[in-house]
């Protein structure tokens, strides 16, 4: 297991990013579950068990701006074919500092492995815990490189009332580590707005490849 990605993410959470030099850093995968790419401003990190020379050759063959080559569909397709993995989407990655005290929203911890958001988290995260509020759920667990990640789901009839930002803020009180991470699909503007209202900072884009 490589600790390099965990170190890079921890530094990014504190505002210390890789140099914006157009380079690509290739590190070992942090565990058996995921491979993929984290793209910061003008610097990408590819985490994989594949030969770094193969990665660099594929990037060189990609007909793309070198600053965008790691997120080019051609490269990602080649990485999926090489590793026998799949991916869902390219996400915006955000992070927020933990907050002291208890959440201001009423929550009850539950076990609901059938909820779609929980079922998805159990495939990608460890130490998963789930809380319910009136109109939504909050799921917290250890994801990529051991970081604490949160996802929230708001019932359709409860949307528009500010529940999403309140759940995202609650995660900042509940997380047992110094920061909490979350990923949003860039096209899901409502989710992006909710997490930014809750104080989450955008730090990167990310494509995570998982086993089929």
> How confident is the model over 79-133, as pLDDT tens digits?
999 999 999 899 999 999 999 999 999 999 988 777 777 777 777 889 999 999 9
Report the Cα 47 to chain-centroid distance in Å: 14
* Ranges in the chain annotated CATH 3.40.630.30: 94-203
Strands (E), the chain: 23-27, 34-40, 43-47, 85-97, 108-110, 126-133, 136-142, 148-154, 179-184, 201-211
Residue 203 token pair: 């730090």
How do the residues of the chain divide into helix, strand and coil, expressed in percent and rounded to 5? Answer: 35, 35, 35
What's the start-to-end Cα distance of the chain, in Å? 21
Question: How is residue 143 annotated by DSSP?
Answer: -
Strand pairing category for 43-47 and 23-27: parallel
Measured between alpha carbons, how far is 169 from 22 in angstroms, rounded to an integer? 34
Q: What pLDDT is attached to residue 1?
A: 55
Identify whether the C-beta of residue 28 lies closer than 8 Å to the C-beta of residue 2: yes
Please state which CATH class domain 94-203 belongs to.
alpha beta
Mean pLDDT, to the nearest integer, of 15-27?
97
Comparing 110 with 189, the larger pLDDT belongs to 189
Mean pLDDT of the chain: 93
Strand pairing category for 43-47 and 179-184: unpaired
Q: Is the pLDDT of residue 17 over 80?
A: yes
pTM over 0.75: yes
């Amino acid at each position: 297991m490589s600790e390099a990605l965990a170190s890079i993410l921890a530094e990014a959470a504190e505002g210390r990013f890789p140099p914006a030099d157009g380079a690509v850093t290739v590190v070992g995968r942090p565990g058996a579950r995921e491979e993929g790419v984290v793209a910061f401003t003008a610097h990408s990190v590819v985490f994989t068990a594949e030969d770094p020379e193969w990665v660099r050759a594929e990037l060189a063959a990609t007909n793309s701006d070198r600053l965008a080559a790691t997120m080019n569909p051609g490269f990602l397709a080649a990485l999926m074919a090489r590793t026998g993995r799949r991916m869902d989407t390219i996400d915006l990655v955000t992070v927020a500092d933990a907050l002291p005290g208890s959440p201001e929203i009423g929550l009850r911890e539950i076990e609901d492995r059938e909820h779609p958001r929980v079922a998805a988290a159990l495939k990608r995260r460890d130490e998963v815990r789930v809380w319910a509020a009136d109109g939504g759920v909050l799921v917290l667990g250890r994801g990529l490189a051991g970081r604490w990640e949160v996802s929230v789901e708001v019932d359709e009839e409860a949307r528009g009332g500010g529940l999403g930002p309140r759940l995202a803020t609650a995660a900042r009180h509940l997380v047992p580590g110094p920061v909490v991470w979350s990923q949003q699909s860039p096209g899901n503007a409502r989710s992006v707005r909710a997490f930014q209202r809750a104080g989450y900072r955008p730090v990167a884009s990310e494509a995570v490849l998982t086993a089929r």
